[in-house]
Every structure is written in structure tokens, then in C-alpha cells.
Amino acid sequence: MNVMDVSIDLDRAAATRAPGRGAPAGPLGGRRARAARRPGSALGLLLRALAVAALVTGSLTIWAPAAFAQAVGKPPAVFIDWPWAGAITTIDPQYGLYVAGTDASLPITRATHYQLFVRDVAGGVVINQVYSSVQAGCPARGPGQCSIRPVTALTQGRTYEWYVAAYNAAGWGPWSSKGGPFSVPPVVGMPPAATLVAPTTRGPWETINTDNPRYTWRAAGSGPTRATRYRLFIQKNEPSPARVIFDMWITAAQAGCDAPAATECSFGGPTGGRGGHTWWIQTRNAAGDGAWSPSMSFWR
């Protein structure tokens, strides 16, 4: 769940990137880089040949011009794993990818960050987020599997496709092949999202006066869709980068809303001291995990 600690500079660059739109102006921006991205250009073909040679031999050939060294080191396309095409059973899937290569070749092209791009096939970007290789759990050496689990939940009854691109000091690699399309079918009895109540403030000029506030939200669902557990997730936003300070599943009894007639839940949780905070609630019952609530922010 700790996916908030991302590079602001990379996020800004990633906002201009989408599958089919090419790479942003950035570490390799400019006319030469754009020419190199066009399939069939002489420079592009030469860079591709050098990259293949580097991956196969584990080193750059001694005659390679110094001007090409940065471009050759960009990560290759990412091999994506799961979710595959078809139906899945969760609204917050873990997106799997694979780091290929050998120990000899990986230091040249090892990615430090990955951009996850998830799109609703009916239109609209759902997730466009950069994660570090540490957050994705990628192996420090050799080939192996990584996985990304965003906070953003998908919507039941919708169909999605996804892509991943890799980044290192040399720049952005190409987009992966398309993942999916996969769908999230409705699950009978799954709880709805919770509605948050407090704490909240209007801005940094308005603060709460305790380090241990009561986090309060509306009880979610009724009858067979009633939530029996709630996941309280609290993030401290300042100083940057943001960090998770609390992430725990709480029973409805612990939150004081296990009675069928109860309308409000609350739980005493921490803050990270002075500064801005954001928090969410996810619901759960025997049918599965419900959607995340919209976020709520406050200042201490």
C-alpha cells in the first residue's frame, strides 16, 4: 500500500506520457531524441542495434560513439504478467511485471522507476502513476518479478487495459505491450465505499488540536452488503515525499458500528505531527473487499 512515495519530477513528466503518445521532453528531449523514436529512422535503427548488442554481450562495443552511451542505457520494454485478458475477482488488482536479462546486462539497462498506466476501454485514464523499483519489489540483482498495487480502486462492471514503461537515468524506455482487456464483474453482497466524516480542515490555516483524533465515517452497506471490517489508511503529506503513518484493518466492533442500526463508525488513530494529512477507508465483508472511499485531508 505504500505507493505514495514517488518522484515529483517523474510524476510531472509522466503526466505528459500515455501509450501511443511517445515519450515526454525530458532527459532525452530535443530533435535528435524525437528522430530516434521514429521507427525506421537511421539513428533509431542504429540505437536499437547498439541496445541489442549491449543486452547480448553484456557490454558496449568499444567503437560506440560517446554521444550514444546515454540512449543505449535506457530500459527495454517491460514484460507484463497479470492481470490477463478476462475477468478478475478484485477491484484493486496487483499488476505484475517481469525484469528480464542477465546479471551482466542488467546494470546497463536496470530500471529505477516504473510508470503504470491503466485506462477504461470506454474512455478515460484511471491510473497514471510512477513507482520506484523498491516500491514494486523488483529484485536488486538478476531477472525476476515485480508487482504494483495502487490505492486507486477499479469500478465493478467496467473493462480496462494497462501498460507499463520503465525509466532510469538514461531516460524512458518504450511502453510494454497491452495488458488485458480485463473486466471487474459485480460481486453480490460486496460492501459499498464508506463516506468519510472527520477529521477535515479547509486548509493549512485551519488545524485540528490533537495528535490522536477520532477518525469518523458512515457505516457502509446494509443487510448482506454491510461492511464488517474497515481499513484505515493515513498518509502524512509534509515534508515531501509523503509517507504512510497508519494502515490497519479494524473490525466494525472496534469502530463501534457492528450493530445493524449503527450509522457511524469511529476509531482513534495517530497523526504524524504538524503538517498536512490525507486519509481513506476501504470496506470489507464476507463477499470481498469493497472500494476505497474518496480521500479526506486535514492539517495538524
Confidence of residue 288 (pLDDT cuts 50, 70, 90): confident
> Would the pLDDT of 14 be above 90?
no
Q: Where does residue 263 rank: exposed (0-12), middle (13-18), buried (19+ CB within 10 A)?
A: exposed
Q: Flag the least confident range among 37-41, 153-157, 180-184, 255-259.
A: 37-41
Q: Give pTM, 2 decimals.
A: 0.48
The pLDDT > 70 percentage for the chain reads 73
- 8-184 and 196-299 in the same fold: yes
Question: Can you give the residue ranges of every domain in the chain?
Answer: 8-184, 196-299
> Would the pLDDT of 71 be above 80?
no
Q: Which is nearest to 163 in space by CA: 210, 203, 129, 122?
A: 129
SS3 of the chain: helix, strand, coil, percent, to 5: 15, 35, 50
Please state the rounded mean pLDDT for residues 222-241.
90
Please state the rounded mean pLDDT for residues 121-133.
88
What distance, in Å, lies between the first and last C-alpha atoms of the chain?
23
Confidence of residue 20 (pLDDT cuts 50, 70, 90): low
Q: Flag the least confident range among 51-65, 132-146, 245-259.
A: 51-65
Class of the CATH domain delimited by 8-184: mainly beta
Amino acid identity of 232?
L
Tens digit of pLDDT for each residue in 165-211?
999 888 898 999 998 898 887 667 888 899 999 999 988 899 999 98
Please name the fold of domain 196-299.
Answer: Immunoglobulin-like (2.60.40)
